[in-house]
Structure formats: C-alpha cells, structure tokens
Amino acid sequence: MLSGDLVAVWEVALSDGVYRIEFAHGTTTGKRVVYVNGQEVVRKDWMFKLVGKETFTVGSSDTKATIAIEAISGFAYEYTLQIAGKSLQKFIDNRAQTTKTWLLKVDGQDYRVVLEKDTMDVWCNGQKMDTTGEFVDDGTETNFTVGEHECCIKATSSGKKKNGIVHYLLLDGEQIPASTH
C-alpha cells in the first residue's frame, strides 16, 4: 500500500474482536482502498468523483460500515466512519452501554471476553462461547470455560435504579477488572 495515500485509520471494537480500518484515498487518481486488519476489502481505481461514500462489512456479524468522503475546502477532505448507521463515537458510546469487556491473561495467553448484555451472548477471542446460565439468589450466573479454567459472569442488581444491573467476571472464583474498551 502506498503510505502517501493513507488518509484515515480507525479502531473499532466489536464482540468478535478489535478491527483496524484503514482508508487510502488518492486525491489525484481518485483511487479508494479500504483495508480491514490489513486485508483489502474495497478497491476502486480512477474514481471521477472524489467525494462520496464507501460501504463494506466488518467482523463475523457483517456489521455495516460506511466511510464518508467530504470536501472541506479546496483540495482538503474530511473522512468520517459510521458503524451500524451511527457515527463512530455514538457507536462506541452505545456499545459501552450494551456490552462489557474484560481482558485477561490465562496460562500465558491473552483473552478478550465480551458480554452482550441484551442477548447475554459471551464472546472470547472472536468465538461465541457455549454458556450455561442459571438464576441464583442475587441475580444470574453465566458459566463457560477458557482453556481449563472455569469462568462465570455474574449479573446482580446494583441496588440503584440508574445503574441497574452490574456484571462482573470471575475466573476460577477470582474477580477480573473490566476493561475500558
């Protein structure tokens, strides 16, 4: 890839992983190339129109992504990324409310565990996990294994209406702190 044409890079965290989206825009040739994790997913050479949109999908759930190219002045352009129809920031803010992520190291390996709160689906390093859920005195427990280790995501009431339900991850009984992304 010609690094001179690389105009924008975004990181997008989905349940099945964190994706790096790169956009190359040749403003003299009209070329548009989109890369997701280094793989070319869109290539258009010799586009007559320098502004417009490129739409593609990201991740195993085929989440729709759109890059908008707008002229801001003369030969300067602005590039914005939309994920699932929302601006990237709105998408991130929404995911912060609908998912919870933990990063952990187990037996020397890094794991990224994501809980989708609305469906209670659990993802670990890009794989949807087989889980068993059960109701307990103070909420629910969703159990699964990582390697040889027992994991449990506990959901309990915070006792506060604003916060609602609190989710935390136990690995072999030890609580793992939540990640910020």
Distant-in-sequence, close-in-space partners of 115: CB < 8 Å, separation ≥ 6:
99, 100, 101, 121, 122, 142, 153, 167, 169
Give the mean model confidence (pLDDT) for residues 87-112.
92
Q: Return the pLDDT at 138.
A: 85
Half-sphere exposure at residue 140, Cβ-oriented, CA atoms within 13 angstroms: 12
83 pLDDT higher than 50? yes
SS3 15: coil
Residue of higher predicted confidence among 140 and 50:
140
pLDDT digit string, tens, across residues 50-63:
889 999 999 998 99
Residue of higher predicted confidence among 120 and 161:
120
Residue of higher predicted confidence among 27 and 40:
40
Q: Please report the domains of the chain, with CATH numbers, ordered by start residue.
A: 3-84 (2.40.128.180), 98-176 (2.40.128.180)
Distance CA 99, CA 12 (A): 14
